[in-house]
Amino acid sequence: MIDTEVDRSRKLTTFTVSGTVTARDFAIAIRSFYGGEITLHALWDFREGDVELTDAEIWNLARSVSSLNLSTRRGGKTAFVAEEGTSFGLAKMYQLITDTMSLPFEIKVFTDLGEANRWLGIEGRSES
C-alpha cells in the first residue's frame, strides 16, 4: 500500500510505502500525484515496505514519469528513503536512470530520514 500525505506549507507530498508494492501500485500513485495537487517536493518512504519490481519495470516507470508535464516541479526535489537492501537498490537504479533524463527536479536516495529531510529543506518533520 502507498499512503499519500500533502503538506502545502512545505510544498511536500509524502508517499509512505507499507507491505509489498508492485509497479502497478507505483504507477497509480504517480498518476494520482501528477493528476492532482502537485507539490514541488516529494518524499518516498520505503522503510516499512517491500518493493517488487523488475529492472524493466523500473525503466518503464522512469520513462512514464519523464513523459508527464513536469514543469510545475521545476527546481524541486524527490527523496527516496530506504534501508539497505532490495528497496534501496531499486531506488538507486531509478535515480541512475533518471539522471540520464532531462527532468526539471533532482532525485536522491537516502538510508536516513533526517538526511533526506535536510536535503529537501523541510523543518519540523518527525525523523523517526
The answer to whether 7 touches 40, Cβ cutoff 8 Å, is no
Amino acid at 3: D
Cell readout for 75 is 527546481
DSSP per residue, 73-101: GTT-EEEEE--TTHHHHHHHHHHHHHHTS
Q: Is the domain 2-120 a CATH 3.40.50.300 member?
A: no
Give the pLDDT score at 123: 66
User: Are 106 and 121 spatial neighbours (Cβ–Cβ below 8 Å)?
Assistant: no
Domain extents in the chain: 2-120
* pLDDT value of position 128: 46
pLDDT tens digits, one per residue of 40-69: 999 999 999 999 999 999 999 999 988 888
The answer to whether residues 6 and 43 touch, using CB atoms and an 8 Å cutoff, is no
pLDDT in tens, 84-120: 999 999 999 999 999 999 899 999 999 999 999 999 9
